[in-house]
Amino acid sequence: MERVQQLYELYKNLILRYFLRLTGNMEEAGELTQETFYQACLSIHRFHQKSSAKTWLYAIARNVYLKNLRKKSKDKWLPFDKYPWSDTEFRVEDPGEQIVIQEARERIAHALLKIPENHRTVLILKEYEQLSYEEIAEIWGQTVNWARVTFFRAKRNLHQVYQELEGDEQA
């Protein structure tokens, strides 16, 4: 139990941020984070450090998320100003330019929620969580090449959905 407590202290914010990016809902992200560490408690005896603790927890988190998706039918999301897409704020002096940047970020957030779960997860793990292709492959139980190809396809899919959202706003 003490081992899971140490893991919780080290990784709770990473897992919470991961869920927040997937769901866009702070309450749900908190519940999923708690469920992830509960599942970690139940399966800590099976963790033999063949992978890093971080990738092991992300794999559990992904399974918790997929189980949750099966239970619910609709994604919820936060107002964009509360959406944690980056750890650092990007500020510009010109208020008009700041509005354009905020609108683009909002479209990205909405586009991410519209792409398939596997694409969304790979993009979030690679771009926002800064995991390597090797770590992503390990989480999914796939090859590194699969991780690279899926990431490429996810970016292409996100770009397509983003362009559609941009076109809808201009229409």
pLDDT of residue 67: 87
- Nearest CA among 168, 171, 159, 169 for reference residue 108: 159
Q: Which position has the higher pLDDT, 8 or 96?
A: 8
Q: How many CB atoms lie within 10 A of CB 103?
A: 13
Residues 6 or more apart whose Cβ sits within 8 Å of residue 58: 15, 18, 125, 129, 131, 135, 139
Residues 20-36, mean pLDDT to the nearest whole number = 90
pLDDT of residue 21: 86
Q: Which amino acid is at 1?
A: M
Is a pLDDT exceeding 80 seen at residue 97? no
69 band by pLDDT with thresholds 50, 70 and 90:
confident
- DSSP symbols for 62-76: HHHHHHHHHH-S---
Is a pLDDT exceeding 70 seen at residue 75? no
pLDDT of residue 25: 84
Place of tokens 């590194």: 144
85 band by pLDDT with thresholds 50, 70 and 90:
very low
Residues 94-100, mean pLDDT to the nearest whole number = 72
Domains plus CATH for the chain? 1-78 (1.10.1740.10), 92-171 (1.10.10.10)
Residues 95-118, mean pLDDT to the nearest whole number = 80
Q: What is the pTM of this model?
A: 0.67
Per cent of the chain over pLDDT 70 is: 83
